[in-house]
Structure 1
Amino acid sequence: MSRQVVVWRHGRTAWNVAGRVQGQTDVPLDEVGREQAESAARRLAVLRPHRIVCSDLQRARDTAEALGRVSGVPVEPDQRFREMNFGAREGFTWEESFERFPEGMRAWVRGDETKIPDAETHAQAGERFASGVKELLWELPPKETLVIVAHGAVIRTGVCAFLGIPQQNWRTFGALSNCSWSVLTEYGPSRHRFWRLTEWNAGTLPEPVMTDDA
């Protein structure tokens, strides 16, 4: 069995339902989100995680704690796995953002993410997440599973950055649903190990892949 990293998005919040940008605003899970976390945690516990690390924002911490309770593994908050900082857009819907920051949002759509006050770029968020993953992997023993509980945007950008996918291709990856996860699996001989994306936006446990494409 290879080492695995399960990157798990938090459960639902009231702002998710309303379509409001959360970013680093500390919004809690709603009732459905708590139920999602408990249900998903029971499935993920079967993987016997060696370590559970999470964003320090409440919605991610509470999701992680659901897994910690059923697996008996302590939860470790880490600011590097916070959601991307959307700056002045936080708390607004997409339509409201265009009303308040028309020039900044038009630039955002064109790919210039520097025009929204106090916002982080996808590249900055991805690098912060990826560097956190790389550091944790130094301490992950062979055949063990690391679970990282985080947020939709930073998971997408962070996984892509970690795998070395060119930034112009990041948008080809869809968003993760609440309490769904993605899986990174290590492959190759000892001196030539590499990481492969083996699950994306999943809600079922990873299964062995039987294929000639090793």
Structure 2
Amino acid sequence: MNEDAYKRTGRRIVLWRHGQTSWNLERRFQGTTDIPLTETGVAQARRAARLLAFLKPDAIVASDLKRAAATATELSELSGVPVTYDEGLRETYAGVWQGMTHQEIIEKYGDQYTAWKRGEPVRRGGGELETEVADRAAPVVLRHAELLPENGTLVVASHGGTIRTTIGRLLGLDSQHWESLGGLTNCCWSVLGEGARGWRLLEHNAGTLPEPVLGDDD
């Protein structure tokens, strides 16, 4: 491993999506439904944990839903850092959409789905707005980041939608543009670094350790 890849200035937040679940495979909207990892999901979490352990996390915080909690546990066991669980990091509550497949949602709630994709404030299935998810999740992340030592690393095990809204909020992006960040693959992560003008996106949907930026835009 290249030690220079881990030398940095400022705190770092690693936002890590949970491993695979059966509902991921079936393309069902999980939301706050408490679905466990599949065997593949556990293997994904173990592989990712072996990589993230090299970042020497100072703190780990996770959603209390089984899929995120089990993912975080793999890193905790390798790093020796205990996990703090917080329900504020749960996935978006999506009301009647939860348990429905992607195709069923489009067939029954096509107008609502299209409006959401356009960036309009939509209570999917009668559930939470994306801004409401950010309202509960981003403060959790910031609270734990503020407790880090100088140049420390926080790992947050959470969910795709929650991570995207949190990144959008911490970067100061308008909520209608959060969708432009794209999704996260199971057990991949995004990295935010502390810069002179606030948090900046260093990695997105990554499955490898960060490399140093060698160029004029560092």
Tell me if TM exceeds 0.5.
yes
Q: Secondary structure at the match of 1:84?
A: coil
Match of 1:203 in 2: 207
Query: 2:31 pairs with 6, 23, 43, which one?
Result: 23
Deviations 1:141-161 (A, max 9, x none): 111100000000111111111
Match of 1:212 in 2: 216
Q: Secondary structure at the match of 1:73?
A: coil
Query: 1:92 pairs with 100, 105, 108, which one?
Result: 100
AA paired with 2:54? V
Query: 2:162 pairs with 141, 154, 157, which one?
Result: 154
After superposition, residues 101-180 of structure 1 pair within 5 angstroms as 101=109, 104-105=112-113, 107-109=115-117, 111-114=119-122, 116-180=124-188
- Structure 2 Cα separation of the partners of residues 198 and 110 of structure 1: 26
- Structure 2 Cα separation of the partners of residues 53 and 16 of structure 1: 22
Deviations 1:59-92 (A, max 9, x none): 0000000000000111111111111111110000
Q: 1:184 to 1:102 in 2, by over 3 A?
A: closer
- TM-score computed with the length of structure 1 as normaliser: 0.91
- Structure 2 Cα separation of the partners of residues 112 and 212 of structure 1: 36
Q: Secondary structure at the match of 2:33?
A: coil
- Structure 1 Cα separation of the partners of residues 70 and 117 of structure 2: 33
Q: 1:89 to 1:63 in 2, by over 3 A?
A: same
- Structure 1 Cα separation of the partners of residues 123 and 175 of structure 2: 19
Q: Secondary structure at the match of 2:163?
A: helix
Q: Secondary structure at the match of 1:182?
A: strand
Structure 1: 5+ residue runs without aligned partners? Answer: none
Q: 1:100 to 1:51 in 2, by over 3 A?
A: same
Identity, in percent, stands at: 46
- Structure 2 Cα separation of the partners of residues 52 and 161 of structure 1: 20
- Structure 2 Cα separation of the partners of residues 20 and 57 of structure 1: 16
Q: Secondary structure at the match of 1:25?
A: coil
Confirm or deny: 8 A CA contact 2:138 2:169 kept in the other structure: yes
Match of 1:75 in 2: 83
Q: Secondary structure at the match of 1:185?
A: strand
Confirm or deny: 8 A CA contact 2:164 2:181 kept in the other structure: yes
Confirm or deny: 8 A CA contact 1:42 1:67 kept in the other structure: yes
Task: Indicate yes or no: 2:64 matched with 1:56.
Answer: yes
- TM-score computed with the length of structure 2 as normaliser: 0.90
Structure 2: 5+ residue runs without aligned partners? Answer: 1-7
TM-fit CA distance, 1:103 = 5.4
Query: 1:182 pairs with 190, 193, 203, which one?
Result: 190
Q: Secondary structure at the match of 1:160?
A: helix
